[in-house]
């Protein structure tokens, strides 16, 4: 049967709109993939890999994608634009966290085992104490889509160093050249370092490290993000959260 060309075009457009809507609805509650807001922001979602304090991907992290509430993503885009003018970039380490991942963390902290690799992240605090001291929570702000873990990358620096599985790295409080490579500026500790040195205002870090932390906090604060004092890498956007979610992070299409 012959179809008018205009009718064919309309059918194709309608199909494309239907597919687009299906993709847009794949994330609930106003969530978006950060790459759809700003693909220039570097992502290294640690809990989708074995490069984290648990040593394996966490439950619900089926893809290394930063998922956030739309308002959060739009504000991060503004931060990134400001940093880009200084040859810097944000680097996302964790964004939305499925509630099941928080439960996974709590179970890990209570499993009765503690390996040398795990101690790199917790050099002075037993893992059984992490929940009581507020480093691990059964309900995380991350599950609302309004909390983030991130750092800064100097775009002029060489960040190509990869993790050597055969190397015995020092703990997260050691000098940058001795601990696990972060691919970012030297903030004084590695990411997820449960130690007083990881506190944002820790007095034990050097002036350059302190300057980087202040620079990150200031850049985020200009867009309304608040830092958590025990973790220089953790920020949240007041009022943008709400209910906690438990949908898994899937690959972006």
The pLDDT of 151-168, averaged and rounded, is: 92
Domain boundary assignment for the chain? 29-236
Give the pLDDT score at 192: 96
Annotated ligand binding at 23? The verdict is no
38 in Cβ contact with 204 (< 8 Å): no
- Pairing label, strands 67-69, 231-236: unpaired
Give the pLDDT score at 131: 83
Q: For the whole model, what pTM was predicted?
A: 0.88
**pLDDT at residue 137 greater than cutoff 90:** no
Does 50 or 22 have the greater pLDDT score? 50
What pLDDT, in 10s, does the model give residues 175-221?
999 999 999 999 999 999 999 999 999 999 999 999 999 999 999 99
- CATH architecture, domain defined by 29-236: 2-Layer Sandwich (3.30)
Annotated ligand binding at 149? The verdict is yes
The DSSP secondary structure of 143-170, one letter per residue, reads GGT-EEEEEEEETTS-------TTS-PP
Contacts of 33 (CB under 8 A, 6+ apart): 27, 65, 66, 67, 252
24 confidence band (pLDDT: 50, 70, 90): very low
The pLDDT of 78-100, averaged and rounded, is: 98
Annotated ligand binding at 192? The verdict is no
Q: Which position has the token pair 């973790």?
A: 231
Strands (E), 50-184: 67-69, 88-94, 147-154
Rounded-to-integer distance, Cα 244 and Cα 150, Å: 20
Rounded-to-integer distance, Cα 116 and Cα 111, Å: 15
Average pLDDT value for the chain: 89
Give the pLDDT score at 16: 39
213 in Cβ contact with 200 (< 8 Å): yes
Give me the active site residues, please.
231
Contacts of 168 (CB under 8 A, 6+ apart): none
Q: Which of 19-33, 99-113, 210-224, 232-246 is the least confident region?
A: 19-33
Rounded-to-integer distance, Cα 184 and Cα 90, Å: 9
Give the pLDDT score at 242: 87
Element containing residue 179 per DSSP (H, E): none
Give the pLDDT score at 12: 36
């Amino acid at each position: 049967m012959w179809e008018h060309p205009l009718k064919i075009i309309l059918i194709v457009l309608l199909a494309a709109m239907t597919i687009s809507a299906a993709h847009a609805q794949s994330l609930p509650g106003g969530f978006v993939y950060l790459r759809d807001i700003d693909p220039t922001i570097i992502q290294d979602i640690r809990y989708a890999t074995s490069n984290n304090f648990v040593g394996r991907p966490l439950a619900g992290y089926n893809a290394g994608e930063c998922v956030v509430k739309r308002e959060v993503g739009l504000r991060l885009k503004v931060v990134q634009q400001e940093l880009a003018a200084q040859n810097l970039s944000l680097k996302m380490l964790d964004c939305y966290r499925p509630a099941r991942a928080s439960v996974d963390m709590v179970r890990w902290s209570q499993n009765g085992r503690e390996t040398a690799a795990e101690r790199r992240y917790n050099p002075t605090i037993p893992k059984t104490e992490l929940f009581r001291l507020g480093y691990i929570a059964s309900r995380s702000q991350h599950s609302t889509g309004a909390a983030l873990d991130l750092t800064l990358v100097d775009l002029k620096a060489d960040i190509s160093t990869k993790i050597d599985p055969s190397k015995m790295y020092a703990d997260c409080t050691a000098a940058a050249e001795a601990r696990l490579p972060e691919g970012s500026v030297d903030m004084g500790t590695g990411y997820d370092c449960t130690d007083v040195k990881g506190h944002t205002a820790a007095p034990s870090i050097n002036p350059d490290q302190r300057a980087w932390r202040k620079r990150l906090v200031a850049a985020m604060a200009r867009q309304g993000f608040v830092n958590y004092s025990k973790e220089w890498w953790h920020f949240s956007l007041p009022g943008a959260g709400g209910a906690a979610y438990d949908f898994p992070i899937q690959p972006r299409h």
